[in-house]
């Protein structure tokens, strides 16, 4: 991967284009799988890019550039999840209604994904988890990162990641058993 | 139970391309932060200066040589005349 840090710090236009090309899809997919909503994922991807451009000068090279980008992405997703969860607790169902609408969008890849009943059910279950469990489990299931990388990106220890994923799976199992029994 | 475990261990292996619209938006985000690469302008100016300098040096050398030749010629002529 080309070293983009210095040219980005020097505000070189070509570096921005390259950065969008290299990271756009990756950031969007992480946002989508965490937020389960294509339009929220698009908004968050844009927020991540704005953050990168605004704070590139604070990148000191303590971690890999990709790790720094992932941390920014996860922070933004975490903020968004908290916001969504707060809204849900307040009883504001706007975001949930949006999810239901998606199932009718046959033409979009996201719509097709959500048409998959098992994935839809799993997404529902994931949304019942705490933010940290939600993120750790999603990154693990996306197979983008190892436990060590997840730990590095979430700025926690590897054992904490293992514990988060273990508890996430237990909670998901509990949720799904309850849900499937209720539906029967 | 088997079904539940299968659901839980489902991998999110599908990757979606970003839409052309989002790509455009992401590129537009960079515009206020970016500057056009203008190093070629510096090279152009430097090359022009070098070119002018080299012409000047070549002509300057020629003129000197010409003057020197003329002086030698006049000196030789005078010398010959004296002889």
pLDDT digits (tens, 9 = 90+) for A60-81: 888 889 999 999 999 999 999 8
- The range of the structural domain enclosing residue B65 comes to 37-83
Q: In which region does residue A155 sit, left (phi positive, over 0), alpha (psi from -120 to 50) or beta (all else)?
A: left
The predicted pLDDT at position A106 comes to 42
Q: Determine, yes or no, domain membership for B63.
A: yes
Q: Which of A165-174, B14-23, B66-75 has the lowest mean pLDDT?
A: B66-75
The predicted pLDDT at position A95 comes to 46
Residue pair A118/A125 in contact (Cβ under 8 Å)? The answer is no
Q: Determine, yes or no, domain membership for B41.
A: yes
Q: Is A48 helix (H, G, I), strand (E, B) or coil?
A: helix
The predicted pLDDT at position A184 comes to 57
More confident position, A108 or A57: A57
Q: Determine, yes or no, domain membership for B30.
A: no
Q: Determine, yes or no, domain membership for B21.
A: no
Q: Determine, yes or no, domain membership for B61.
A: yes
Q: Does B36 touch chain A (CB under 8 A)?
A: yes
The predicted pLDDT at position A92 comes to 57
Instruction: Check whether A19 has a pLDDT greater than 80.
Output: yes
Instruction: Check whether A105 has a pLDDT greater than 50.
Output: no
Instruction: Check whether A140 has a pLDDT greater than 80.
Output: yes
Instruction: Check whether A88 has a pLDDT greater than 60.
Output: yes
More confident position, A107 or B57: B57
What is the number of structural domains in chain B? 1
The predicted pLDDT at position A112 comes to 47
More confident position, A184 or A94: A184
Per domain, the residue ranges of chain A are 1-90, 117-184
Closest CA to A149 of A60, A47, A71, A75: A71
Q: Determine, yes or no, domain membership for B20.
A: no
Q: Determine, yes or no, domain membership for B74.
A: yes
Task: Please enumerate residues of A whose Cβ is less than 8 A from a Cβ of B.
Answer: 11-14, 16-17, 19-20, 24-25, 28-29, 32-33, 42, 45-46, 49-50, 53-54, 109-110, 113, 118-119, 121-122, 138, 141-143, 169, 172-173, 176-177, 180
Instruction: Check whether A114 has a pLDDT greater than 70.
Output: no
The fraction of chain A above a pLDDT of 70, given in percent, is 84
Average pLDDT for chain A: 84
CA A61 to chain CA centroid, Å, is 23
- The sign of the torsion formed by the CA atoms of A127, A132, A138, A140 equals negative
- Structure tokens given for A130: 């705490």
Q: Does B24 touch chain A (CB under 8 A)?
A: no
Residues of chain A positioned with their CB less than 8 A from the CB of B34:
11-13, 16
Domain A117-184, CATH number (from 3.60.15.10, 3.30.930.10, 1.10.10.10, 1.10.1060.10): 1.10.10.10
- Looking at domain A1-90, its CATH class is mainly alpha
B6-63 pLDDT per residue, tens: 889 888 888 889 999 999 999 888 766 665 555 677 888 889 999 998 888 777 667 7
Q: Determine, yes or no, domain membership for B65.
A: yes
Q: Do A16 and B30 touch (CB under 8 A)?
A: yes
The predicted pLDDT at position A102 comes to 46
Residue pair A28/A46 in contact (Cβ under 8 Å)? The answer is no
């Amino acid at each position: 991967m080309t070293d983009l840090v210095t040219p980005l710090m020097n505000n070189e236009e070509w570096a921005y284009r390259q950065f969008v090309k290299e990271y756009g899809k990756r950031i969007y997919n992480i946002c989508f799988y965490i937020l389960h909503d294509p339009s929220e994922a698009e908004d968050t991807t844009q927020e991540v890019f704005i953050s990168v451009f605004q704070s590139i000068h604070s990148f000191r090279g303590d971690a890999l550039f990709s790790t720094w980008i992932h941390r920014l992405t996860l922070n933004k997703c975490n903020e968004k999840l908290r916001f969504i969860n707060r809204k849900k607790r307040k009883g504001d169902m706007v975001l949930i209604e949006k999810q239901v609408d998606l199932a009718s969008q046959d033409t979009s890849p996201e719509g097709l994904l959500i048409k998959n009943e098992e994935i839809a059910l799993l997404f529902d279950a994931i949304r019942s988890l705490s933010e940290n469990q939600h993120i750790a489990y999603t990154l693990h299931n996306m197979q983008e990162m190892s436990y060590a990388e997840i730990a590095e990106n979430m700025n926690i220890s590897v054992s904490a990641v293992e514990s988060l994923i273990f508890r996430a799976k237990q909670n998901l199992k509990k949720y799904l058993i309850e849900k499937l029994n209720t539906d029967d | 139970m088997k079904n539940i475990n299968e659901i839980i261990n489902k991998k999110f292996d599908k990757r979606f391309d970003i839409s052309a619209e989002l790509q455009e938006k992401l590129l537009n985000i960079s515009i206020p932060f970016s500057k056009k690469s203008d190093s070629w302008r510096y090279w152009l100016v430097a090359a022009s200066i070098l070119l002018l300098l080299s012409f000047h040096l070549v002509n300057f050398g020629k003129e000197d040589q010409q003057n020197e030749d003329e002086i030698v010629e006049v000196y030789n002529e005078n010398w010959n005349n004296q002889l």
